[in-house]
Amino acid sequence: MKVVDCASFVAAPGAATLLSDFGADVIKLEPPEGDAYRYAYAPPGKAAPEHNFLWMLGSRNKRSLALDLKVPEGLSVLERLLDGADVFITNLPLLTRRRLKIGFEDLSPGRPRLIYASFTAYGESGAEADRPGFDTTSYWARSGLMDLMRPVDGAPISSSGGMGDNPAAAMLYAAILSGLYRREQTGLGGQVDVSLLAAGLWTNSLQIQANLCGMPSAPRVRRTEGMNACVNTYRCADDRWFNMMVLNEAKLFRPLVAAIGREDLADDPRFAEIAARRANSAALIAIFDERFAAHDLAYWREARTRPASRTRSSPRWTMCARTPRPTPSGRSRHSPTTPTCTPSAAPSMSRARPRPSLGARRSLASTAARSFRRSASMTPRSAT
Q: What pLDDT, on the 0 to 100 scale, is given for residue 220? A: 83
C-alpha to C-alpha distance for 180 and 168, rounded to whole angstroms: 18
What global pTM score does this model have? 0.82
Q: What pLDDT, on the 0 to 100 scale, is given for residue 381? A: 34
pLDDT at 377 over 60: no
Q: What pLDDT, on the 0 to 100 scale, is given for residue 349? A: 46
Q: pLDDT > 70: what percent of the chain?
A: 82
Judged by DSSP in three states, 123 sits in coil
Judged by DSSP in three states, 267 sits in helix
**Mean pLDDT for all residues in the chain:** 86
Q: What pLDDT, on the 0 to 100 scale, is given for residue 306? A: 63
Tens of pLDDT, residues 95-140: 999 999 999 999 999 999 999 999 999 999 999 999 999 999 999 9
C-alpha to C-alpha distance for 13 and 24, rounded to whole angstroms: 13
Q: Which residues contact 58 (CB under 8 A, 6 or more apart)?
A: 10, 13, 14, 17, 37, 355
Q: By the 8 A CB rule, do 257 and 249 touch?
A: no
Q: What pLDDT, on the 0 to 100 scale, is given for residue 228? A: 95
C-alpha to C-alpha distance for 122 and 166, rounded to whole angstroms: 17
Tens of pLDDT, residues 1-28: 999 999 999 999 999 999 999 999 999 9
Region of residue 23 (left: phi > 0; alpha: psi -120 to 50; beta: else): left
pLDDT at 350 over 60: no
| DSSP category for residue 354 | P
Q: CB neighbours (10 Å) of residue 25?
A: 18
CA trace torsion 382, 5, 103, 112 (10° rounding): 140
Q: What pLDDT, on the 0 to 100 scale, is given for residue 60? A: 92
Q: What pLDDT, on the 0 to 100 scale, is given for residue 313? A: 52
How far are the Cα atoms of 8, 113, 159, 210 from residue 166, in angstroms, in the given order? Answer: 13, 27, 12, 26
Confidence of residue 251 (pLDDT cuts 50, 70, 90): very high
